[in-house]
Chain A
């Protein structure tokens, strides 16, 4: 059974939601400072803290939160977003995580009261948030911050989170849904986290010249057979090159074209770089054998490679027995044959004498 909130309850709920919002930002941002948290437990006589948790507010974060909220609270369709991003000394940036506190349009019929029930549930939510912020890759990354490598920045705002800047292969994780008794308007704050793939953020952040766009990170998958038979054209505009190792050496605006093995041209912005592969292709004009780094061919066991085998067969070396035979040995054989021919009559006489000696025996 649902009932509407009294004005007093509504006011109390708004107050708690405001404090929760501030604490959520504090917990998330403080966990990305690259410092180990350690706060002391206190008895009630030493003073009380919101949600009975030793979350020490940092003034600067509080100011940014107030600025981001602009005097409003998260509401349906307008969640609180804490964006965690990485920034390099060259001002390249990459969004690592989006933490959202969302108000959903759903209603719970459990007889939950604002205080202490909702208050206690918010406490559990903050404890979960403290625990979960430690298990994402950005937590570890935060400890590697430095002025020469990268720093981690944050942004707080109300509104739709920009999921396009993240890798959408990972589903957002909903951490908690707080329900309370209400018929109009129902408020279910839920906390979600969505994060970037860790391997992507490392590879892109230090190469890219502009803020990357996920759609342009990787080249489309090209079947290997296409590399040998048809024309493959790769056109990069800075951002694409950052993620494609084969185009990195060309500089901005490079175009690489590989045509059926007969013609290989690489035109960079400066036009001065040629790949080593292109030189090999020109030498073997009649057929192209691209050395693929197949996963089953070990790096150190190059003798098994099909390309190497083919080339060895094509340029087969001379047989060793001919290569090692000395010329004077051949001339000796000729002289020996001539000598034997000179004694032909003697050999014939010998054969005849043997035949005559055997004749009486054969007649017996």
Chain B
């Protein structure tokens, strides 16, 4: 099964990385969570309610909505913080990418273990910019807010296209689809992974290619 893969690019200041990533990941988790299931029998269940709350960013002119679940918030913050620390390290390259992957588990046939199959992957390519003064920071604060608004619209466009979503499972299989560890909400199984790497230089590559072509043409 091919996972629905989306890539979004962000140019942010070092101190804005946490909020920029969290605002989009929380928006995704808000859409990809349900209320808690309460099974009456194996395939009949009642669904709880997702509360929501507005969150204002400190370093970006932006407000987003997230699930009212402190545990889910703590969990996603913990996952994202590793990436933020890595990209803000003194000798770190100025770009990296962090992905939120929704997956489902499938029982493997003996002797194989359970396998995880991603069905939707959201990758954020983050470029860290450095600014010279407070005036530039003020402008950037608004610019990043507008940029996040555009990214959020793309997210909602995509999520409302109704691509593949795992079907609600029977009670015995619920842990193969949803993360049931949270007491108040029930997100689809998800994980965060990241890489921090030096950016490739396309202009150099292009120049070398051109040189080779010219040489061959001679």
A residues whose Cβ falls under 8 Å from a Cβ of B: 36-49, 52-54, 110, 116, 120-121, 124-125, 127-128, 130-132, 134-135, 139, 173, 175-179
Contact = CB atoms under 8 A, between A and B. Distances in A.
Interface in B44-67: 46-54, 56, 62-65, 67
A45 B38 contact: yes
Given A41-B68, A175-B156, A175-B160, A128 B53 contact: no
Interface stretch (B26-34, B98-106, B169-177): B26-34
A50 to B, nearest CB: 9
Contacts of A37: 52-54, 65
Nearest to B46: A44
A179 B69 CA distance: 31
A116 B168 contact: yes
B146 to A, nearest CB: 9
A112 B50 CA distance: 24
B168 A128 contact: no
A42 B31 contact: no
A42 B48 contact: yes
B184 A41 contact: yes
B52 A125 contact: no
Contact of A131 (B152, B165, B184): B152
Interface of B: 27, 30-31, 34-38, 46-54, 56, 62-65, 67-69, 148-149, 152-153, 156-157, 159-160, 162, 165, 168, 184-185
Contacts of B34: 52
Nearest to A55: B52
B53 A43 contact: no
9 closest pairs, A vs B, by CB? Answer: A176-B160, A41-B184, A44-B46, A128-B156, A135-B149, A44-B38, A41-B51, A54-B51, A42-B49
Contacts of B53: 36-39
A179 B162 CA distance: 9
B48 A38 contact: no
Nearest to A42: B49
Given A54-B49, A110-B162, A124-B31, 10 more contacts: A38-B51, A41-B48, A41-B68, A46-B49, A47-B49, A48-B46, A54-B68, A132-B156, A175-B160, A179-B162
Nearest to A110: B162
Given A44-B35, A46-B48, A124-B160, A38 B152 contact: no
Contacts of B165: 120
A36 B54 CA distance: 6
B48 A130 contact: no
Contacts of B50: 41, 52-54
Contact of A53 (B37, B38, B52): B52
Contacts of B168: 116
Contact of B49 (A41, A116, A127): A41
B159 A124 contact: yes
Contacts of A134: 54, 63-65
A177 B160 CA distance: 7
B35 A52 contact: yes
Contact of B31 (A40, A110, A128, A173): A128
Contacts of B48: 41-44, 46, 48, 52
26 contacts: A36-B54, A38-B68, A39-B51, A39-B52, A43-B36, A44-B47, A45-B38, A47-B49, A52-B35, A52-B50, A54-B49, A54-B68, A116-B168, A120-B165, A121-B162, A128-B159, A131-B30, A134-B63, A134-B64, A134-B65, A135-B62, A135-B148, A135-B152, A135-B153, A175-B157, A177-B160
B59 to A, nearest CB: 16
Nearest to A37: B54
Contacts of B160: 121, 124-125, 128, 175-178
A131 B156 contact: yes
Given A41-B49, A54-B52, A131-B27, A176 B69 contact: no
A139 B53 CA distance: 15
Contacts of B67: 41
Contact of A130 (B36, B37, B52, B162): B52
Nearest to A128: B156
Contacts of A49: 49
A41 to B, nearest CB: 4
Nearest to A174: B157
A304 B160 CA distance: 57
A127 B31 contact: yes
Contacts of A41: 35-36, 48-51, 67-69, 184-185
A139 B157 CA distance: 20
